[in-house]
Structure 1
Amino acid sequence: MTVDTVIAGGRLVTPTGVSEGSVAIDDGTIVAVGHEASLPEADRRIDAADRLVMPGVVDPHVHIDEVPENRAGTMPAETAAAALGGMTTFVDFAWQGRDRAGTDEDAGLLDGIAHKRAKEDESYVDYSLHGVLSRETEGTLDAIPEAVEEGVTSFKMFMSTYPVGVSNGFVDSAFERIAAEDAVATMHTEDPSVCEHLAERLKREGKGDPQYYPDSRPDYAEAMAADDVARMAREHGVKYYGIHTSCRQSAEVLSGFQGDGSRIRAETCTHYTALTREIHESRGNLPLIAPPLRTDDDVEAMFEYLRDGTLSVVSTDHSVYHREYKEEVENWWDSPFGANSAQYSLPVFHEVAVNQRGFSYPFLVRVMCTNPARTFGFPEKGTLEPGTDADVVVFDPDETWTIEETENASNATFSLYDGREVTGAVKQTFVRGQLVVDGGEIVAEPGTGRFVERDLPDWSE
């Protein structure tokens, strides 16, 4: 028997350990793991000596292809960036109204799902979708079971100042329906009334410099909203996943609810583990994200709560803008929120978690690969187990290099990590056995990726 590929002689990283070994891949699947001598001959041999061989990153929180005029992401560009960063699977968003602009009033959630599924032949990596519930109607709630039938098994709502924000009453009803399907609910949690009040006060005081922006969305506003949502989730028994946890106060809230047996999980994002609000002094409006960057203490809190499992996933919240949309405004409140990081998330988190704080490689794999796959119903992802998808990254943990935003594959024309030196680099990325990245270059064509219909995840583990 001859297989397609053997990745030979690397250090294999699983959620539970690191061992020397090789991986055999055939027809898109991992068929064997062991010493090279025990594996079949291969048409292609990848020498992984002195390198890590790990599952592809699974990112459950990206904004890839959204239409409003100040968003610049397209499926080919952003999935190329993802592959270069070792990301082999992501979960994007399907919008009522077909896209985030929501201008098509006749288009519902299922139309939004169809719109994004049709992008399959433009993607370098695999992807799925969260359904966004932004219209407070019975029709929105009635679409939930139909979306689940199409493999969209998680749903997002916004408790925020965004135009797509919904009321607590609607969230309560939606949680009841989502729980009935045994699907997953996710929420953007910032108390909108507090944030709107503080933003208006800053405007009256003429504090348009971006260094004041984080004061408009304080940590306690995030914690208040997290508490509201967690209480509703507990009452309905819904599987709830808190996104982009940014601060100690919010993580403390979620930790308290996890202790009572509620089905509550949560993530943080790479930027909340690597950056603080002081970056606004040098980068202006570019780091405007919501929730905002916080303090050094909040950064350390993210690691504390990742260590104890309160936070179980590190995502990117990748969003795409041209620099001018952020910078060519007079005040921070005229600048859009969001920043890209799909291409650099793995090396940056490797730097701050493993190199700087001594976290293990199995920890890295758990929070960036295995946990998100299990949380969102990807049984074939986030693992090197034989019989699963051959989504594999070969990573050089010793290569030191400097991130340069001019090297972005993304349509974003800036990076918050520009000029940052990191040690650790993606060398090869395989998506279901197909070599997409080799030596830091895209070597495949768009369409390598496919849309994945997800299972209802089992959270009993």
Structure 2
Amino acid sequence: MLDLIIKNGEVILSDGPKKVEIGVKDGKITAIAENIIDDAKEVIDASGQYVLPGMVDTHVHISEPGRTEWEGFETGSKALAAGGTTSYVEMPLNALPATTNKAALDLKLEAAKTQNYVDYAFYGGLIPGNIDDLEDLHKAGVPAFKAFISNVGSDIPGDFERADDFTLYKGMKKLAELDQTLCLHSENPVITSKLEAEFVSEGKVSAMDYPDARPVFTEVEAVQRALLFAKETGCRLHIVHISTSEAVQEILKARAEGLDVTVESCPHYFAMSAEDVEEIGNYAKCQPPIRKKVDHDKLWEELLNGNIDWLTSDHSPCTEDLKTNADNLFEAWGGISGAQNNVDLMFDLAVKQRGLPIERFVELIATTPAKRFNLKDKGEIAIGKDADIIFVDPNQSYTVKREDLYYKNKHSAYEGRTINCRVTKTILRGNEVFDLEEGILGQPKGELMKK
């Protein structure tokens, strides 16, 4: 007897939409057929909706332990579940201490194990002085590592630090030996920091000034440097939250030359331009910056042409005062709370408004990241995979309201925005964890994912 049958939905398989039923047993997909004959314990009707694999969000910041007032595992994973994400990989910052050694990883593992409503894994971090810690983190099962070619962190002991060129080179050599992937935030820190200081001193602190203070070439140069180091060391590379077409083109050139490199971007780079940020204000500040419309439009072309490998939230929350108490965009905390509006927002913008094939959308949110980080049970609706399934109603419209957000700090750059589709149900390994009418369901069932 099956535990669950999902019927009457338009199921998105690797070769496109199919009117099929899905059978689930012991948390796994065990049957996909036009008509499943079984006295299942539960039957869910998905009439009028698309049935997709849950999003695999590989760029999430949960600030527990250490900065739990920004976001904790419980609130962050509830927001992910409500937004259609069923698994995530959490960055080694902004928790304190940062996840740059085995002891810090153990603290995070302990904090996470009873609080998550979706499945999770943790990155290790590469910073100056921790080359000898990389192997321990690798053996502990982290799926990848993260480093910054940009300014990051604070003066607080245990906070994350930027990797200088020597750290980057030595770390990439070590990670190549370990057959690990390095994820990189790529912006030239010297130029961006000095330009920002110059702009502030001249009183140029508007939303339209901000991308000029972190210009396109500063992202491109850092990406070029990372690609050169990867070529020299043989390290597998993933460039995170890219914001410019020019940087994407550099990555494509390197891939054509044989480098093992992938690239992600985020919904906010497609949903907003700097012109929009003028109206939204500090809630829409992030790094790299949201670009002006001419660059925003070029990035859309890269996505629609298949040149961006997958999408992530880069959910980077903070207490609201770090946004509202800043006198201008330059002073505000740089991060967007976005985990609850990945699937619906991008489905609306890319699939409904721009005609992106829905099977390509599934690759962008689930299949490709799962394959890249060897999360073998995740990422698609297929026999033997985890029954991580979401329903998307393409005919519902709603307005993002603060009171509907599950974040610990209920603010969002998307507040007041109307989205013309909606995630109505999230199923984790066969268990319903979110329903639009009932909200978050049951107790946390999220488990640590292992490679």
- Tell me the TM-score normalised to structure 2 length: 0.94
* Contact 1:11/1:19 (8 A) holds in 2: yes
Summarize deviations over 1:377-416 as a string: whole Å, max 9, x none: 1110011111111101111111122222331111232211
Please point out which of 126, 133, 144 is paired with 2:134. 144
The answer for the alignment partner of 1:83 in structure 2 is 81
Q: Which residue pairs with 2:156 in the alignment?
A: none
DSSP 3-state at the match of 2:250:
helix
How far residue 333 of structure 1 moved from its aligned partner, in angstroms, is 3.3
CA-to-partner distance for each residue in 1:338-382, whole Å, 9 max, x for gaps? 011111111100111011110011011000010010011111001
Q: How does 1:381-396 map to 2 (within 5 A)?
A: 381-396=378-393
Unaligned 5+ runs, structure 2:
154-160
- Corresponding position: 1:64 with 2:57: no
Matches within 5 A, 1:220-259: 220-259=217-256
Q: Distance in 1 between matches of 2:230 and 2:75?
A: 36
2:205 matched residue in structure 1: 208
Structure-2 residue corresponding to 1:14? 13
1:232-269 CA-to-partner distances (Å, cap 9, x unmatched) read 11222221000000012211211211111110100010
SS of alignment partner, residue 332 of structure 1: coil
1:380 touches 1:388 (CA, 8 Å); kept in 2? yes
- Aligned equivalents of 1:293 and 1:71: distance in 2? 26
8 A Cα contact 2:395 2:420, kept in partner: yes
> Map of 1:118-197 to 2, 5 A cutoff?
118=110, 119-134=112-127, 136-137=128-129, 140-163=130-153, 164-197=161-194
1:161 Cα offset (Å): 1.5
Match of 1:54 in 2: 52
Runs of 4+ in 1 over 4 A off after TM superposition: 66-71
Provide, for residues 15-64 of structure 1, a one-character-per-residue CA deviation record: whole Å limited to 9, x for no partner.
3211101111111111111123x342211110011211110100000102
Q: What residue ranges of structure 1 are gaps of 5+ in the alignment?
A: 455-461
2:378 partner letter? K
Q: 1:322 aligns with which of 280, 305, 319?
A: 319
Measured at CA, do residues 442 and 112 of structure 1 come closer, stay the same or move farther in structure 2, by a change above 3 Å?
A: farther
Letter in 2 for 1:320: P
Q: Distance in 1 between matches of 2:255 and 2:296?
A: 21
Q: In the alignment, is the contact (CA less than 8 A) between 1:78 and 1:409 conserved in 2?
A: yes
Residue 401 of structure 2 is matched in structure 1 by 404
- Give yes or no for contact 1:124–1:444 (8 Å, CA) kept in 2: no
Tell me the matched-pair count: 443
Instruction: Provide the aligned C-alpha RMSD in A.
Output: 1.8
Give the Å deviation of 1:442. 3.2
Amino acid at match of 1:222: E
Instruction: Report the CA distance between 1:67 and its aligned residue.
Output: 5.4
CA distance 1:68–1:300, change in 2 (3 Å): farther
2:355 paired with 1:363 = no
Distance 1:305 1:211 in 2: 23
CA distance in 2, matches of 1:388, 1:35: 19
Residue 458 of structure 1 corresponds to none
Quote the residue 1:459 is aligned against.
Answer: none
CA shift at 1:310, angstroms? Answer: 2.9
Percent same amino acid at aligned positions?
A: 27
